[in-house]
């Protein structure tokens, strides 16, 4: 039996509701495929911040370091500024553990209707590869003359050749395992230093992959193409900010924020990687038991795949696909009436029923 140690951070809002369903489904996969998953919970959240003044303890990264992976819900809640919660927990983990790839698949599934008319399952199947370590989300900048009429703010974007090259390389390698097509998100018409640099590196790296089709669009028209021609895309690579925006749009065109999983990867495996849904803590629906747990469960499948448990990952994904395609048990964001718990349970029991799914 293989043993994995997983750190769990439910965080805030619906994170506390969807993470238990993710764990329930992965436990079912563990029982079926002979994996033992040891979950250790860390109560790091905005509530913790209000009590202690910190989102996580000063030695938080040291505490997480020995784990095989981190399974996170979402952080952020009214009463704590969003930049405090994000920079107090998620960003230090992503950076400290060199999780420089943020992988965010967008796939239109059987049984889900896209808000775009005329799109059916399979028509939309792309993955956003977001640079996760630098870019627009930088700590270089400052405020001057606060609360005077000369009040001002400056924030610098940082693009390093090392980080840009490694994310572009990751995107091209990924495309080789898919439809061999990479699209770069740029804005080199308006942003005259960093984005032309990004384009130069994209051109240089794409030369090393003559078998992969490479194209690029400015971010403004690219968002329009995501809506008008989502079928054009396979792997879409973007900076931290552009990747963030594109992945929420990707989630929307495939039906719901509640369906979009993500992985924050340290591809070299020097540190644990982190798996979380694209969505946030959704305070507007928190506490009602109506959040869709599928994004969290699917993030769990990505975690199993990263751990090398391809069969188990595949079984979890197949169970999600089957339930969406053939069951009326679904949450209201995708047109049903079921609770978070009911959806988690039906997917877990689908994973357990070995006859229903052919693992390969």
Q: Are 304 and 27 in contact (CB under 8 A)?
A: no
* Residues binding ligand NAI (CB under 6 A): 14, 18, 74-77, 82, 86, 90, 257-258, 276, 279-285, 291-292, 295, 333
| Binding residues among 229-288 for Mg ion as defined by CB under 5 A | 244
Q: Report in angstroms how near the CB of residue 296 gets to ligand NAI at its nearest.
A: 7
Tokens of residue 37, six digits: 């998953």
| Dihedral class, residue 279 (left if φ above 0, else alpha if ψ from -120 to 50, else beta) | beta
* 324, interface contact from ligand NAI, Mg ion, none, CB < 5-8 Å by kind: none
Buried b (16+ CB within 10 A) or exposed e, 254-286: bbbbbbbbbbbbbeeeebbbbbbbbbbbbeebb
| Binding residues among 42-101 for Mg ion as defined by CB under 5 A | none
* 211, interface contact from Mg ion, ligand NAI, none, CB < 5-8 Å by kind: none
d(CA 72, CA 193): 35
d(CA 152, CA 274): 35
* 244, interface contact from ligand NAI, Mg ion, none, CB < 5-8 Å by kind: Mg ion
Confirm or reject binding of residue 131 to Mg ion (CB under 5 A). no
Q: Are 238 and 131 in contact (CB under 8 A)?
A: yes
Task: Reduce the DSSP state of residue 285 to 3 states and report it.
Answer: coil
- Residue nearer to Mg ion on the CB measure, 55 or 128: 128
- Residue nearer to ligand NAI on the CB measure, 75 or 357: 75
- Residue nearer to Mg ion on the CB measure, 125 or 244: 244
- Residue nearer to ligand NAI on the CB measure, 14 or 112: 14
The residue nearest Mg ion at its CB is 244
Sign of torsion over alpha carbons 242, 247, 252, 258:
negative
- Residue nearer to ligand NAI on the CB measure, 137 or 209: 137
- Number of residues binding to Mg ion, judged by CB under 5 A: 1
Other CB atoms closer than 10 Å to residue 171's CB: what's the count? 30
* 82, interface contact from ligand NAI, Mg ion, none, CB < 5-8 Å by kind: ligand NAI
- Residue nearer to ligand NAI on the CB measure, 167 or 294: 294
- Residue nearer to ligand NAI on the CB measure, 76 or 243: 76
Residue count of the chain, please give it.
360
Tokens of residue 243, six digits: 């990747």
Q: Report in angstroms how near the CB of residue 74 gets to ligand NAI at its nearest.
A: 4
Q: Report in angstroms how near the CB of residue 280 gets to ligand NAI at its nearest.
A: 2
Q: Report in angstroms how near the CB of residue 281 gets to ligand NAI at its nearest.
A: 4
Other CB atoms closer than 10 Å to residue 98's CB: what's the count? 18
Confirm or reject binding of residue 21 to Mg ion (CB under 5 A). no
Tokens of residue 46, six digits: 């905005």
Q: Report in angstroms how near the CB of residue 215 gets to ligand NAI at its nearest.
A: 29
Other CB atoms closer than 10 Å to residue 114's CB: what's the count? 19
Task: Reduce the DSSP state of residue 214 to 3 states and report it.
Answer: strand
d(CA 251, CA 242): 14
* 319, interface contact from ligand NAI, Mg ion, none, CB < 5-8 Å by kind: none
Binding site for Mg ion (CB under 5 A): 244
């Amino acid at each position: 039996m293989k043993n994995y140690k997983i750190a769990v951070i439910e965080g805030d809002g619906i994170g506390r509701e969807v993470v238990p369903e993710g764990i329930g489904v992965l436990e079912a996969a563990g029982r079926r495929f002979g994996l033992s998953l040891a979950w250790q919970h860390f109560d790091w959240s905005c509530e913790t911040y209000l009590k202690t003044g910190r989102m996580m303890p000063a030695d938080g990264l040291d505490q997480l370091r020995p784990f095989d992976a981190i399974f996170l819900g979402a952080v952020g809640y009214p009463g704590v500024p969003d930049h405090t919660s994000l920079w107090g927990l998620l960003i230090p983990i992503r950076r400290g553990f060199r999780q420089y790839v943020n992988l965010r698949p967008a796939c239109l599934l059987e049984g889900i209707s896209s808000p775009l008319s005329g799109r059916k399952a399979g028509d939309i199947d792309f993955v956003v590869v977001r640079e996760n370590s630098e870019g627009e989300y930088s700590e270089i900048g400052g405020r001057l003359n606060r609360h005077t009429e000369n009040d001002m703010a400056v924030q610098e974007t940082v693009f390093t050749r090392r980080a840009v090259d490694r994310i572009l390389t990751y995107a091209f390698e990924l495309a080789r395992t898919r439809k061999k097509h990479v699209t770069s998100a740029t804005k080199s018409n308006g942003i005259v230093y960093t984005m032309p640099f990004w384009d130069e590196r994209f051109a240089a790296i794409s030369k090393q992959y003559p078998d992969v089709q490479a194209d690029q669009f400015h971010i403004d028209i690219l968002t329009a193409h995501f809506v008008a021609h989502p079928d054009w895309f396979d792997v879409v690579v973007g900076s931290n900010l552009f990747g963030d925006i594109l992945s929420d749009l990707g989630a929307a065109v495939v039906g719901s924020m509640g369906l979009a999983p993500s992985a924050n990867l340290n591809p070299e495996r020097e540190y644990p990687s982190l798996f979380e849904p694209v969505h946030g803590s959704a305070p507007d629906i928190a506490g009602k038991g109506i959040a869709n747990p599928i994004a969290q469960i699917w993030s769990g499948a990505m975690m199993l795949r990263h751990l090398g448990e391809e069969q188990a990952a595949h079984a979890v994904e197949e169970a999600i696909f089957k339930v969406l395609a053939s069951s009326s048990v679904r949450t209201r964001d995708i047109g049903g009436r079921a609770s978070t718990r009911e959806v988690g349970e039906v997917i877990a029991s689908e994973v357990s029923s070995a006859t229903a799914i052919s693992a390969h």
